Structure 1
């Protein structure tokens, strides 16, 4: 049947079962927003305060729900304001479709008002980009974009529609095809083959070889990476770890892929990894990394990483194999499918001596007593006050590491954090997306005073949509993680890291119509949390902590994984 081009875009969103979109309108995308007006009973649009906030919200929605997030923005600065969010999603393999509109065909390439080559800009930080010049291609492009974003290793995709493509009198042929069917159409199948999107079926010979390696190992260690979380392979991973009876180290992106309180968990690995995880990595004889890219925050010194071990890498993306750390064996495939095949072949193992050596090295995160408020007290209060399934969105820095070290994440999508790109300002947008996608769950946003300044204007979004998100500011009056490096490595040259300036975060919350409280000790923190949980609106807790609090442990970048600067 014949329908408007803009109508086809909305219908394609419905094909993909999209019910929530985050965005910010502008001149070139007005035709799309005009059509959205007709679909407001089917597609809920969340208007953020800034395009970057919309990008992080769509990302947080995707991570917390397992669905594809969707974000709208106009051309020029609207589109470029998305790039930090696109790169954040790309580095952490989060499936988001970004939809922008550009100037009309006759204005393209003429430095027209708010014109920018966003497909060219976004090409290195997306799985694919599409510049749509012909309205007849809209259904195929939309279906391909969602398939690319969600299939194989997930990631962001950008579609840029020329404004003339969205003219309200543009009519195209369209037939509604549910996504469960359109993923099997010829065009999508061809796309999957040509782009390597479909996760390859693991080679059974590779599976059997790993089974043999496991049988010979005396000191195995498993790393739970982000691929376990993205692939929702947590059940298969847990069965594998328990069959192997091996310690499990967890990367930042792996949080929630394996229960943080499980008896086999050794905690985070790498720069701020636990002694148990880092020592186990150094002394194991078989290291099995599942969905882990061996970044420089994990494999700080690649040439000496797990030097006593046979290293096995399981990953959906062949390009990650031997990129950072040379392996002895690898298996290409989705984490879920590889682990299913392994679990079918593995007997029950027992490694009591190895566990008795490693597991006692686990450090309980300290909760210091006394009148002075500490990070440990803050996190202990939160953990005791909120439901066990609470979603935690963090920004980047000391508070991020403290949060990941302290909380026991139990399921994929419970921890939302920018692990690869390290984006300050990510947390509040991600929390908004998570709350929109999980309205029945408590959402806590942990942040630092430096990070919070970057996107605190999204409190307007929190207020308008009546989202009871609890923002906890670890306010130490400094860029804490940078100051920690300056203290330990740069001879205490505290160059441009002291934040002796506004705003007053409590008054800021009140200015946005929210509630806030400044706390200086544990009793005040406990009282503020109870009020935040019961008030039914957004709440900002300004936690005053010492400027020289540090994240422990710490290994310097490029150092051996057990050369701790701090323990």
Structure 2
């Protein structure tokens, strides 16, 4: 095979990379390849699907979404210089998500590297290194075997994360002396647990508690058996909260489930937080959004943090830290019973507060003439099937979906949310990766029009590859978070264009529906599902008002509600 003036045989570095991917079970790659197309061609020759995107940033988001949905390695392939730099927002997000993503980029050939006169030369390694678990520029063809083994091992071990491999253009075409992947067996990761002494100390803390609360973070979704999370809550008889990235770790129909933590905690559930005497955080970094409004209670009470990595612990709080695999630690904690005779009163108290939440929700929905986000979520909850993966953005209107029970996951449903970084457009692009990963489930992305417009360069990628997704686009005319604050400050909005649809454009072979009133919702969602089931992607464009804001966000200032002042 001839690519440019180079001849490709089966023993090049490109071939070795492809063999490493195959040995580790990789069947899907995302990216926009380098100009010589060499790695893309080798990948396709070996029956690995290569989804060619229009934008490298979207490719990284897709690979991250795929990784989170599959709970395995995601792969992104890009070119050099500006191509790699365009990935950096995605690398930032993969790092914050602890998503195992392998980024393979080309770079300036070895003999010219560092001269700073080569076409598209950039110090890619130095830029990406702070955000990657490991970064490496390949210096010789025969090193590719250990480089690939180490990269994939580090990406998927312990607390997962992105890794970066840089292939100089000349080295990619060089011959490798032998194929070490012909008999390669991928590493099976062992589960690590805390020692007996610390397990016993945690048990004593639990035994002394009368009002414990559990916080499940995104790390709990990487376990092999999520049933342990439910079993632990029932053993402890404690209310459950999840962080935004922890949604889906446990069914939100579970009687012990009480909503999202911190910023997204319903106001009526704050009585639970202020009365609790022990917080058990599992698989969470306890980021700012997960603790917002809870800080005083967390500082005043005992905390047990359980994380796989020492970097996952929030040391702002005086807590007892257990490092190890969450499933192993929770299983060991449950090996003995914990007598807590008054625990049923604590659970009953939580149930009464939850009942108030549902009454409040019923009072908000379907009582207004204009279309409201709460109404949209209510109809989605009612009509979508159980086998659904929701993918979220984090804009002003779509944040309604973070407030339970306005949006509540049924048993069997899952959610992919942005990390604390909340990069604009992540959810819209990640939905493509999720759809490639979970082909047996309906994928529904709840996004704002600003985020959707940023993603639109890859709508044609969705269409051409026949990837069915339902995009629920909450159209407020632009950037709602900025516009809402600008109006609160008495200024006229420069972020909203209310007189016209803000969607840049839609493709003729997408099923596009517009919804402007509550009365159109049910029929439109039924039509959207029918189109999805015949393999179409759907844009359900819902026209909402910029002042349609969840109660907790009414007084926002900068990144957070007014309390921050």
Q: Deviations over 1:27-59 (max 9, x none)?
A: 2x63222323422xx201101121111111111
Structure 1 residues 457 and 270: CA distance shift in structure 2, 3 A: same
| Aligned equivalent of 2:519 | 523
Contact 1:24-1:73 at 8 Å conserved across structures = yes
Structure 1 residues 278 and 128: CA distance shift in structure 2, 3 A: farther
SS at match of 1:298: helix
Q: Distance in 2 between matches of 1:172 and 1:31?
A: 19
| Aligned equivalent of 1:551 | 550
Note the 1:161-200 alignment, pairs <5 A: 161-167=167-173, 169-176=174-181, 181-183=185-187, 200=192
SS at match of 1:553: helix
Contact 2:470-2:537 at 8 Å conserved across structures = yes
| Aligned equivalent of 2:5 | none
Contact 2:483-2:495 at 8 Å conserved across structures = yes
Q: Does 1:103 align with 2:88?
A: no
Offset at 1:17?
0.7
Give 1:131's match in structure 2, choosing from 127, 137, 144: 137
| Aligned equivalent of 2:37 | 30
Q: Deviations over 1:518-558 (max 9, x none)?
A: 11112322222222212231111110112211122249799
Q: Distance in 2 between matches of 1:463 and 1:377?
A: 29
| Aligned equivalent of 1:14 | 22
**Range that drifts further, 222-231 or 276-285:** 276-285
Q: Deviations over 1:262-310 (max 9, x none)?
A: 1111101112211254332222111111111121112236862424421
Contact 1:259-1:410 at 8 Å conserved across structures = yes
Give 1:61's match in structure 2, choosing from 60, 66, 73: 66
SS at match of 2:290: coil
Offset at 1:261?
1.8
Structure 1 residues 308 and 556: CA distance shift in structure 2, 3 A: farther
| Aligned equivalent of 2:473 | 473
Q: Deviations over 1:157-195 (max 9, x none)?
A: 11111111111x52331122676x3427xxxxxxxxxxx
Give 2:212's match in structure 1, choosing from 201, 209, 220: 220
Q: Distance in 2 between matches of 1:417 and 1:178?
A: 38
Q: Distance in 2 between matches of 1:258 and 1:492?
A: 43
Note the 1:145-164 alignment, pairs <5 A: 145-164=151-170
| Aligned equivalent of 1:533 | 529
What is the TM-score with the length of structure 1 in the denominator?
A: 0.89
Q: Distance in 2 between matches of 1:340 and 1:558?
A: 43
Q: Distance in 1 between matches of 2:66 and 2:455?
A: 17
SS at match of 1:7: helix
Q: Distance in 2 between matches of 1:147 and 1:354?
A: 44
Structure 1 residues 2 and 50: CA distance shift in structure 2, 3 A: closer
Contact 1:65-1:413 at 8 Å conserved across structures = no
Q: Deviations over 1:463-516 (max 9, x none)?
A: 0111121111111124223344456xx6344664324476653x82235x3121
Contact 1:297-1:557 at 8 Å conserved across structures = no
| Aligned equivalent of 1:463 | 463
Q: Deviations over 1:305-347 (max 9, x none)?
A: 42442111111121233433231x1111121111121122334
Contact 1:255-1:412 at 8 Å conserved across structures = no
Structure 1 residues 254 and 12: CA distance shift in structure 2, 3 A: same
SS at match of 2:367: coil
Contact 1:100-1:159 at 8 Å conserved across structures = yes
Q: Distance in 2 between matches of 1:223 and 1:277?
A: 14
| Aligned equivalent of 2:348 | 356
Contact 2:102-2:163 at 8 Å conserved across structures = yes
Structure 1 residues 394 and 359: CA distance shift in structure 2, 3 A: same
Q: Where in structure 1 do 4 or more consecutive aligned residues deviate above 6 Å?
A: 555-559, 561-565
Q: Count how many residue pairs are aligned between Structure 1 and Structure 2.
A: 542
Structure 1 residues 503 and 217: CA distance shift in structure 2, 3 A: same
RMSD: 2.7
Q: Deviations over 1:214-236 (max 9, x none)?
A: 11111111111111113355211
Contact 2:30-2:59 at 8 Å conserved across structures = yes
Q: Deviations over 1:96-119 (max 9, x none)?
A: 111111110012112211122222
Q: Deviations over 1:198-218 (max 9, x none)?
A: 764312111111111111111
| Aligned equivalent of 1:340 | 331
Q: Does 1:142 align with 2:148?
A: yes
**Range that drifts further, 353-362 or 61-70:** 353-362
Structure 1 residues 494 and 523: CA distance shift in structure 2, 3 A: same
Give 1:231's match in structure 2, choosing from 199, 208, 223: 223
Q: Does 1:85 align with 2:90?
A: yes
Give 2:371's match in structure 1, choosing from 350, 370, 373: 373
Contact 1:282-1:306 at 8 Å conserved across structures = no
**Range that drifts further, 81-90 or 358-367:** 358-367
Contact 1:224-1:292 at 8 Å conserved across structures = yes
**Range that drifts further, 371-380 or 520-529:** 520-529
**Range that drifts further, 248-257 or 302-311:** 302-311
Q: Distance in 2 between matches of 1:492 and 1:391?
A: 39
| Aligned equivalent of 1:188 | none
Offset at 1:352?
2.1
SS at match of 1:306: helix
Contact 1:98-1:156 at 8 Å conserved across structures = yes
Offset at 1:563?
9.4
Looking at both structures, which has the greater relative contact order when contacts are Cα pairs under 8 Å and sequence separation is at least 6?
Answer: 1
Q: Does 1:259 align with 2:251?
A: yes
Structure 1 residues 318 and 501: CA distance shift in structure 2, 3 A: farther
Q: Distance in 1 between matches of 2:224 and 2:548?
A: 35
Structure 1 residues 465 and 18: CA distance shift in structure 2, 3 A: same
Note the 1:385-424 alignment, pairs <5 A: 385-405=383-403, 406-409=406-409, 414-424=414-424
Q: Distance in 1 between matches of 2:351 and 2:563?
A: 18
Structure 1 residues 372 and 301: CA distance shift in structure 2, 3 A: closer
Segments of structure 1 that go 5 or more residues without pairing to the other structure are: 185-196
Q: Distance in 2 between matches of 1:200 and 1:492?
A: 55
